[in-house]
Structure 1
């Protein structure tokens, strides 16, 4: 990858363990890092974010090469991995920290995000009204080191076995057929 042409996007779609592990499998993604964004507390901890009182969402910051994978393809994966019609939750994960949110850096990126939401809605993949927030990006706080690559390090942990693992298998089947996964 040409590091001079890399771009970043930050978004939240529920538990960051699911989102991060899938995005790290995509061709063209240099890194997917779990973290926090959108709140008022500097350098928040996982325990603080879990209270719902920091205003932060669990997010993933993706660094990618747009010559290999497009913003639109990343958005297609984003909307595949979570239900954008669930307000402040994904399945049994409930709270504002699990909200569906796309952080944009400028008006051009905001317009691309709005188009991605429209395209996903029109696809009919999810029934209901989308509640995905579009929020101006401010700062990204990386999560604690033990959250990075969490599923790969803890695949038999009960939440990983019940929630993350099945989501990854569905993701691999769908996006592997489209040729978007690394062959690692």
Structure 2
């Protein structure tokens, strides 16, 4: 999607602009049954799914078989632990499959915008401290603050969406209102 950009108009409606296609004003609403996810985030989930369906599932089945060989299952802690691991693993497999089925996967390397949109890497200056921080706006399941990845639905991302370099985003935090000047928007 060369020249595509994505932004949030409200908490509930995400729109893309794709070279003027779609809606008469060049906008196309994404399917709201879908959740935005970066291509990188989708690939990570696919790798985890592959691991859980392959080696992890085999390891758990082997642990269950080994525990069964120890006899009486009613008092066999190893057996119950392995069955619990199996339940967790199968639950996580279903969860990942559901997330991928409901994902609107977006290749952020193809996005271009001067405004803060989903997938943008935004460098801000905290006006109260002068500290510079870079945030990458990602899908809900990809957020990891230690890596600078914030969810599209977070108060910080919602305050920045639609802003441009030089604009100030105002974020209401438990400690009060904080102001962030947008220094750069990259993809």
Query: Which TM-score applies when normalising by structure 2?
Result: 0.24
Query: Which TM-score applies when normalising by structure 1?
Result: 0.24
Higher relative contact order (CA 8 A, sep 6+): 1
Of Structure 1 and Structure 2, which has the larger fraction of its residues in strand?
A: 2
